[in-house]
Amino acid sequence: MNKSDTIVKLAEALAKFQGEVKNPPNTAVNPYYKSKYAPLGEVLNTVRPTLGKYGLSFFQNQVTDENGKLGVTTMLMHSSGEYIESDAIYASPEKNTPQGLGSVSTYLRRYQLSSILGIASEDDDDGNANEAQPNKTDNKKTDKNNKTDENNNPKPQDENKDRLVKAISSIEELATSLQTAGVDKTLIVEAIKKHNEVNGKAVANYNKIKDIEVATNVYKELKLLEVK
């Protein structure tokens, strides 16, 4: 994380902001049981008035890494000139299309803005939702030591984890899109449960998926609903 030499005034303003702002309403519904989240628009409408009241503002920048993966950084600024800037977080769309890139960008912006402001923009699924969140990048030295081998290639474990995160994010986007398009929620839930089992029991919570093959099958099953 980068920051100005001092953040005293920023910290004071942020404390006042957090003491007054309410969490945005979770108006969007994921197709598995009891899971809701606040779309980016709701987050922005909720925080902007109170941010401005205390001289706070933010800037989000879209970046890409050396592999072309999409990322977002967020800078929180104070009218005094003080600032803090987050490290980038990255994710990849299932398909490299404008719609896919836009969905990933929106997701990353919502996730990181909520984090830096200290607000909640989604239901707490007893920690299971953490599996679908992007990983924060460390500095280059840490990234090289922990995520690559001696030839600077991604370690298989990290590569598989990234693929699973990407797959679950794609399932979430597709399931939400299907529900928005008017597809019966029961059909969406059954499509997920058809391939997703935990301890031998079919479950609709796709955040519990541990295997990339299962995630792929769930996504394909949901895609079939687009033509029904």
Q: Which two tokens stand for residue 48?
A: 């902007």
pTM of the model: 0.55
Tens of pLDDT along the chain (228 residues) come to 899 999 999 999 999 999 999 999 888 765 544 567 888 899 999 999 999 999 999 999 999 888 888 999 999 999 999 999 999 999 887 777 888 888 888 889 998 999 999 998 766 543 344 444 454 444 444 444 454 555 555 555 556 777 888 888 888 888 887 777 777 788 888 888 888 888 888 888 888 888 888 888 888 888 888 754
**What pLDDT shows up at residue 222?**
84
pLDDT at site 228: 44
Which residues are CB-contacts of 107 (< 8 A; sequence separation ≥ 6)?
91, 169, 173
Side chain identity, residue 212: I
Hey, how many other C-beta atoms are within 10 angstroms of the C-beta on 222?
Answer: 24
Residue 109's pLDDT is what? 93
Q: What is the pLDDT of residue 125?
A: 47
Residue 159: per-residue pLDDT: 66
- pLDDT score at 92: 80
Identify the pLDDT of residue 137.
Answer: 47
Find all residues with CB under 8 Å of 222, minimum gap 6, and list them: 171, 174, 175, 178, 188, 191, 192
